[in-house]
């Protein structure tokens, strides 16, 4: 379920994961814009020759993230864990959609955390949206800023990699349309529904079968004595 804005601007995941070591963005930095600091991740910039359109790639349920990350390479990929029912993911979508144009030498992927629960557990994505910077197949930094805009995302990437964003990139109407959806998708949480039905059935069964409950009902005590 989604928390309120005061609770961190994130939608909580449904599993308690076993965390892998992931280097967070330093607390004193808070994804700021201190250009005097040396980059923390030395990314190998990809060759963009022949690429006409720079866009985000969304993984479907049958695709594995590890197939898109080369463990023997030092290139960098920004991966977004999101869910289509989370309003914070939806508000982030147009800003994340515009990032590939701002950083054409980097790769950008997104995946539905509810469809890739094993990856969410592996990388400790307790809440969504969650953004990780990978070098090769190793997670190097996590975006911790609650203000998820194009500018804060650009600052985060620059602080971590030293790669400057293109200055002429802004969020457009096309970015609001896709590829990452900016409109919430309604769905049924079958696990939650089953849990509620099971709990209700158990309470009804206990109420009918437990003798102590009968003594709480007015008139039942006299009827028993007769």
The pLDDT of residue 28 is above 90: no
Tell me, what's the pLDDT at 190? 56
Tell me, what's the pLDDT at 21? 47
The pLDDT of residue 16 is above 60: no
Q: What is the DSSP string of 56-110?
A: -EEE-TT--GGGSS-TT---EEEEEEE-TT-HHHHHHHHHHHHHHHH-TTSEEEE
- Residue 29 belongs to some domain of the structure: no
The pair phi, psi for residue 173, each rounded to 5°, is: -65, -35
Q: Distance between CA atoms of 41 and 46, rounded to whole angstroms?
A: 15
- Residue 146 belongs to some domain of the structure: yes
Domain count along the chain: 1
Q: Distance between CA atoms of 183 and 177, rounded to whole angstroms?
A: 9
User: What confidence tier does 33 reach under pLDDT thresholds 50, 70, 90?
Assistant: very low
The pLDDT of residue 184 is above 80: yes
Q: Distance between CA atoms of 72 and 46, rounded to whole angstroms?
A: 14
pTM of the model: 0.68
The pLDDT of residue 43 is above 80: yes
The pair phi, psi for residue 59, each rounded to 5°, is: -80, 135
Share of the chain above pLDDT 90, in %: 33
The pLDDT of residue 203 is above 90: no
The pLDDT of residue 56 is above 80: yes
Tens of pLDDT, residues 102-160? 999 999 999 988 887 777 677 776 778 999 999 999 999 999 888 999 999 999 999 99
- Residue 136 belongs to some domain of the structure: yes
- Residue 129 belongs to some domain of the structure: yes
Q: Distance between CA atoms of 161 and 213, rounded to whole angstroms?
A: 66
Query: CA-based diameter of the chain, in Å?
Result: 94
Tell me, what's the pLDDT at 106? 93
The pLDDT of residue 204 is above 90: no
User: What confidence tier does 183 reach under pLDDT thresholds 50, 70, 90?
Assistant: confident
Q: Distance between CA atoms of 127 and 131, rounded to whole angstroms?
A: 10
> The CATH number of the domain where 82 resides is what?
3.40.30.10
Q: Distance between CA atoms of 160 and 41, rounded to whole angstroms?
A: 6
Domain housing 159: 57-176
- Residue 167 belongs to some domain of the structure: yes
Q: Distance between CA atoms of 53 and 43, rounded to whole angstroms?
A: 21
- Residue 44 belongs to some domain of the structure: no
Mean pLDDT score of the chain:
78
The pair phi, psi for residue 134, each rounded to 5°, is: -105, 140
- Residue 73 belongs to some domain of the structure: yes
- Residue 68 belongs to some domain of the structure: yes
Tell me, what's the pLDDT at 116? 78
Q: Distance between CA atoms of 99 and 103, rounded to whole angstroms?
A: 6
């Amino acid at each position: 379920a989604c928390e309120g804005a005061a609770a961190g601007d994130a939608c909580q995941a449904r599993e308690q994961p076993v965390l892998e070591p992931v280097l967070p963005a330093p607390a004193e930095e808070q994804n700021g814009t201190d250009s005097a600091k040396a980059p923390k991740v030395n990314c190998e910039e990809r060759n963009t020759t022949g690429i006409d359109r720079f866009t985000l790639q969304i993984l479907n349920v049958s695709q594995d993230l590890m197939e898109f990350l080369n463990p023997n390479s030092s290139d960098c990929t920004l991966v977004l864990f999101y869910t289509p029912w989370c309003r914070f993911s939806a508000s982030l979508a147009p800003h994340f959609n515009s990032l590939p144009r701002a950083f054409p030498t980097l790769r950008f992927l997104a995946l539905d955390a509810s469809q890739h629960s094993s990856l969410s557990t592996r990388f400790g994505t307790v809440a969504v949206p969650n953004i990780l910077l990978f070098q090769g197949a190793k997670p190097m930094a996590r975006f911790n800023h609650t203000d998820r805009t194009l500018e804060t995302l650009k600052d985060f990437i620059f602080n971590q990699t030293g790669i400057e964003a293109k200055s002429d990139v802004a969020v457009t109407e096309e970015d609001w349309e896709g590829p990452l959806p900016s409109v919430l998708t309604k769905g049924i949480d079958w696990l939650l529904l089953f849990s509620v039905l099971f709990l209700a059935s158990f309470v009804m069964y206990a109420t009918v079968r437990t003798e102590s409950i009968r003594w709480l009902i007015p008139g039942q005590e006299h009827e028993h004595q007769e």
